[in-house]
């Protein structure tokens, strides 16, 4: 038997979950108490507003609707029988379920990642994750790959091959990263492959440092990254979350939940995770409200405490590409010591990024950092090696 809650009054997902659970277990009683004989019907997108388990207009919300419902139903009894999904590749219920040509596709390309979210939320087994890249003997971890589309002058210094290669599209908008060549098989992706040492790992960069909507972190943009992860599987070994800017009015509570979910999704797909930010915490752009720094500090401290993040990469960029700017973020409560007291087993997990326009400038900045570690900042900032940014 399959219990189809959708399109029925008082059975809206996310609103009437208790009613749906009660109805399910009532059906189990009618089947002699054997829950294995009763399936819970979920509607993917092809039903009325309020009854879809996936709504492309609200991808962040869609990451939690079905998981919360299933947890509710499963908590009310034993031996839950599973789910049945109603889906229609030609559904016209949502104007956003279309392919690149404008043809309705029922949001089927988004379904695999959504199904993984649902399964892992209730105890499914995630994919195995390779160990994160070890600390290299010479301390050089690798570099960011700058898109050729930005012009030959943008990649000011191309360093040697390394164990980590980061495909940098400079955006939190998937299409912009694709345009920059970071989709699997793209031009910048191929450069990333070519610039790895044997056994190295490729990382897909998500985010950027400018205070504009193309590089912001929002719940919906993270949900779209989650949907895109299946496309990255098999081509990339990791994702670097470049967490620097948010909308001025962002909510730290919902943002922390969205980041936690995305980290869990990445791990479930077998990815390693690097979390990076400007100096010791995201900065406050000009004209932002006075409480903004407090909110971003709250989010960054939460990220540092997340055990699913493998590597933390502070960006100590100097403006000239010659010297590092090894300072704490202005106005932030996140200090150097906050990193080492918050990150679990922080030795080897902190790998600073230097902006260097020659190998000599890179080595000079390494020496700068090591002198700092001897005098004024925790040793852990010098125990994981370093990454190179040779871009603008």
Short-list 44, 43, 46, CA closest to 92: 46
**What is the value of pTM for the model shown?**
0.80
Q: Are 150 and 106 within one domain? A: no
Q: Which of 94, 121, 148 is the last residue of a domain?
A: 121
Minimal CA–CA distance to 34: which of 82, 97, 71?
82
Q: Give the model's pLDDT for residue 113.
A: 78
> Domain for residue 134, yes or no?
no
Give residue 184's pLDDT: 97
Q: Residue 272: inside a domain, yes or no?
A: yes
Whether residues 240 and 289 share a domain: the answer is: yes
- Residue 18: give the domain boundaries: 2-121
Q: Are residues 64 and 174 in the same domain?
A: no
**pLDDT at position 100:** 63
**49 shares its domain with 149:** no
Cα gap 313→350, rounded to integer Å: 6
Note whether 252 and 312 are same-domain residues: yes
Tell me, what CATH number does 185's domain have? 3.20.20.80
Same domain, 44 and 147: no
- Does residue 320 lie within any of the structural domains? yes
Q: What is the separation of C-alpha 167 from the centre of its chain, rounded to a whole number of angstroms?
A: 15
Assess if residue 69 is contained within a domain.
yes
- For the packed helices 59-75 and 219-232, what is the interaxial angle rounded to 10 degrees? 80
170, part of any domain = yes
Q: What is the pLDDT along the chain (392 residues), one digit of tens a residue?
A: 888 888 888 999 999 999 999 999 999 999 999 999 999 999 999 888 889 998 877 767 778 899 999 999 999 999 999 999 998 888 888 887 887 677 888 888 888 878 888 888 787 776 777 888 899 999 999 999 999 999 988 999 999 999 999 999 999 999 999 999 999 999 999 999 999 999 999 999 999 999 999 999 999 999 999 999 999 999 999 999 999 999 999 999 999 999 998 998 999 899 999 999 999 999 999 999 999 999 999 999 999 999 999 999 999 999 999 999 999 999 999 999 999 999 999 999 999 999 999 999 999 999 999 999 999 999 999 999 999 999 98
Contacts (Cβ under 8 Å, ≥6 apart) of 27:
1, 3, 38
For residue 127, is it within any domain? Answer: no
286 lies in some domain: yes
* Last-in-domain residue among 86, 121, 156: 121
Whether 182 and 277 map to the same domain: the answer is yes
User: Count of CB atoms within 10 A of residue 96's CB?
Assistant: 11
The three-state (H, E, C) secondary structure of 175-216, written as one string: HHHHHCCCCCCCHHHHHHHHCEEEEEEEEEEEECCCCCCCCC
Q: Are residues 255 and 379 in the same domain?
A: yes
Q: Which of 90, 121, 152 is the last residue of a domain?
A: 121
Q: What angle do CA 195, 197, 199 make, to 5 degrees?
A: 125
Looking at the fold, whether 115 and 144 belong to one and the same domain comes out as: no
Give yes or no: residues 74 and 161 share one domain: no
The answer to whether residue 132 is domain-embedded is: no
Residues 93 and 145 in one domain: no
Verify that 59 and 172 share a domain, yes or no: no
Q: What is the count of structural domains for the chain?
A: 2
């Amino acid at each position: 038997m399959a219990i189809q809650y959708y399109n029925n009054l008082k059975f809206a997902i996310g609103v009437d979950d208790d009613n749906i659970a009660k109805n399910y277990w009532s059906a189990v009683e009618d089947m002699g108490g054997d829950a294995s004989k009763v399936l819970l019907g979920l509607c993917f997108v092809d039903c009325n507003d309020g009854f879809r388990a996936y709504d492309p207009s609200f991808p962040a919300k869609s990451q939690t609707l079905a998981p919360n419902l299933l947890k509710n139903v499963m908590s009310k009894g034993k031996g839950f029988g599973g789910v049945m999904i109603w889906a229609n590749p030609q559904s016209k219920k949502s104007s956003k379920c279309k392919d690149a040509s404008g043809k309705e596709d029922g949001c089927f390309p988004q379904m695999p990642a959504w199904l993984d979210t649902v399964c892992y939320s209730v105890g499914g087994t995630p994919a195995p994750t390779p160990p994160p890249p070890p600390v290299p003997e010479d301390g050089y971890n690798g570099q960011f790959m700058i898109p050729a589309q930005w012009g030959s002058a943008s990649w000011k210094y191309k360093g040697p091959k390394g164990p980590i290669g980061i495909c940098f599209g400079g955006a939190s908008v998937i299409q912009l990263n694709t345009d920059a060549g970071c989709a699997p098989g793209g031009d910048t992706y191929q450069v990333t492959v070519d610039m790895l040492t044997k056994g190295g790992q490729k990382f897909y960069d998500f985010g950027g440092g400018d205070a504009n909507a193309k590089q912001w972190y929002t719940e919906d943009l993270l949900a779209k990254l989650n949907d895109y992860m299946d496309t990255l599987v098999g081509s990339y070994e990791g994702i670097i979350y470049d967490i620097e800017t948010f909308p001025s009015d962002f909510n730290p509570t919902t943002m922390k939940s969205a980041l936690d979910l995305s980290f869990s999704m990445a791990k479930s797909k077998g990815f390693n995770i690097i979390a990076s930010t400007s100096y010791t915490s995201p900065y406050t752009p000009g004209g932002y409200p006075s409480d903004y720094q407090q909110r971003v500090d709250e989010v960054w401290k939460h990220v540092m405490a997340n055990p699913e993040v493998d590597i933390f990469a502070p960006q100590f960029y100097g403006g000239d590409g010659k010297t590092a700017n090894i300072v704490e973020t202005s106005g932030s409560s996140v200090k150097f010591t906050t990193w080492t007291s918050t990150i679990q087993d922080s030795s080897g997990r902190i790998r600073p990024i230097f902006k260097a326009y020659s190998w000599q400038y890179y080595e000079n900045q390494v020496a700068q950092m090591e002198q700092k570690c001897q005098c004024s900042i925790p040793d852990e900032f010098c125990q994981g090696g370093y990454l190179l940014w040779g871009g603008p």
